Amino acid sequence: MIKPHGSDELNPLFVYDSEKRHALVAEAEKLPTLLLNSAAAANAVMLGGGYFNPLTGYMNKADAMSVADSLHTASGLFWPVPVVNLTRETGIEAGSRIALRDPNVEGNPVLAIMDVEAVEQVSDDEIRAMAEKIFRTLDENHPGVATFTELGNTLLSGPIQVLNFSYFQTDFPDTFRTAVEIRNEIQEHGWDKVVAFQTRNPMHRAHEELCRMAMEDLGTDGILIHMLLGKLKPGDIPADVRDASIRKMVEIYFPPNTVMVTGYGFDMLYAGPREAVLHAVFRQNCGCSHLIVGRDHAGVGDYYGGFDAQTIFDEEVPDGALELEIYRADHTAYSKKLDKVVMMKDAPDHSKEDFVLLSGTAVREMLGRGEAPPPEFSRPEVAKILSDYYQSLDS
């Protein structure tokens, strides 16, 4: 199986030894506490699950600035997005040991314990400089920019020990998996070559066929359909609805034992190209050999070019920085001429009218009225789940 990023073995920061974990939970009750923001909490969950291997905790200012600027830490580790604990709290001192509390669970239970190695101030200009590199814009209407620039100016760095996986394990017990669990499951399947499909949306026919194309073109043993379970921007479909619709599609339309439907506990960054590279890093940590990178991968609005998330792998990812390879996908749609889903680049003799193309707005309006989109666009069983959801919003 493919090696994790940056090390021979995966090193998750979750404390698996139950006796040690219980002792840390008890210790945490006596420690000074910090209520995390959702972004820092999501980083802790990803560190705990091994997705952010080989990091041992939150980055310091030098590493964060270096990663934003050059996709490498100060010591040279390839990494695409700063993994930070930015806060508005003051009074925490370097050298202290603190309990990190979860903002997303009632009662704010302890999520992790942190040994604070450094407490550094980051100026507004430095925050904006990092944001511009990560998101390629400073437009405050960009949801990632809006979140990142409001986290705070105090940066806490140092190693953490993760004590639970926030709400993800309880709310999505059948879907949430750590990178450790996914690697183990791939091994149990006996799969060697695995392609990952990233999604924060339900899957329509085009997505379904894209997964098949990738599996066939690459000759993989299976596919990891890996959905984001964390915070999204307003208007995005909730994770439980996405989960149900994807599982229904896989159950009916894919051969048994070819697909793993799983999810991970992270908040969407909407960072386009940089986030695509981050997706590649943590899919390598999951044990995947390939990642599908499609049109406007991890994008939002019109902030990124259609294929910027592919070209970054040519222009900014050094040779050998990752073992995982990407599968480059064009926009896929149902061809009326060929009576099947194709990549649009593979049908140069087609005009727009030869494809079944529907905007997200049009689809939402149809579903809200209880109308099923054409079967060439969406499987009827999937459309039913989504229609029930949209109609519930109006009732």
- Catalytic residue status for 379: no
318 confidence band (pLDDT: 50, 70, 90) = very high
Mean pLDDT throughout 351-362?
Answer: 80
Residue 323 has pLDDT above 70, yes or no: yes
Output the 3-class SS for the chain.
CCCCCCCCCCCCCECCCHHHHHHHHHHHCCCCEEECCHHHHHHHHHHHCCCCCCCCEECCHHHHHHHHHHCECCCCCECCCCCCEEECCCCCCCCCEEEEECCCCCCCCEEEEEECCEEEECCHHHHHHHHHHHHCCCCCCCHHHHHHCCCCCEEEEEEEEECCCCCHHHHCCCCECCHHHHHHHHHHHCCCCEEEEEECCCCCHHHHHHHHHHHHHHCCCEEEEEEECCCCCCCCCCHHHHHHHHHHHHHHHCCCCCEEEEEECCCCCCCCHHHHHHHHHHHHHHCCCEEEECCCCCCCCCCCCCCHHHHHHHHCCCCCCCCCEEEECCCEEEECCCCEEEEHHHCCCCCHHHEECCCHHHHHHHHHCCCCCCCCCCCHHHHHHHHHHHHHHHC
C-alpha to C-alpha distance for 267 and 384, rounded to whole angstroms:
27
Mean pLDDT throughout 14-38?
Answer: 97
Tell me if the bond preceding 4 is cis, omega within 30° of 0. Answer: no
Q: Are 163 and 102 in contact (CB under 8 A)?
A: no
Q: Are 262 and 250 in contact (CB under 8 A)?
A: no
C-alpha to C-alpha distance for 384 and 119, rounded to whole angstroms:
51
Mean pLDDT throughout 139-147?
Answer: 96
Percent of the chain with pLDDT over 90: 78
395 confidence band (pLDDT: 50, 70, 90) = low
Residue of 11, 108, 153, 201 marked active site: 201
393 confidence band (pLDDT: 50, 70, 90) = confident
Residue 134 has pLDDT above 70, yes or no: yes
pLDDT digits (tens, 9 = 90+) for 68-125: 999 999 999 999 999 999 999 888 999 999 999 999 999 999 999 999 999 999 999 9
C-alpha to C-alpha distance for 29 and 42, rounded to whole angstroms:
21
Residue of 108, 128, 153, 200 marked active site: 200
C-alpha to C-alpha distance for 140 and 109, rounded to whole angstroms:
32
Is the dihedral angle over the CA atoms 190, 193, 198, 204 positive or is it negative?
negative
- Catalytic residue status for 200: yes
pLDDT at residue 364 in the model = 77
CA proximity to 337, closest of 314, 353, 326: 353
pLDDT digits (tens, 9 = 90+) for 215-266: 999 999 999 999 999 887 777 788 889 999 999 999 999 999 999 999 999 9
Give me the residue label for tokens 């066929």.
Answer: 209
Mean predicted lDDT score pLDDT of the chain:
94
pLDDT at residue 267 in the model = 93
C-alpha to C-alpha distance for 161 and 193, rounded to whole angstroms:
32
What domains can you pick out in the chain, each with its CATH number?
Answer: 18-169 (3.10.400.10), 173-394 (3.40.50.620)
pLDDT at residue 332 in the model = 83
Q: Are 203 and 363 in contact (CB under 8 A)?
A: no
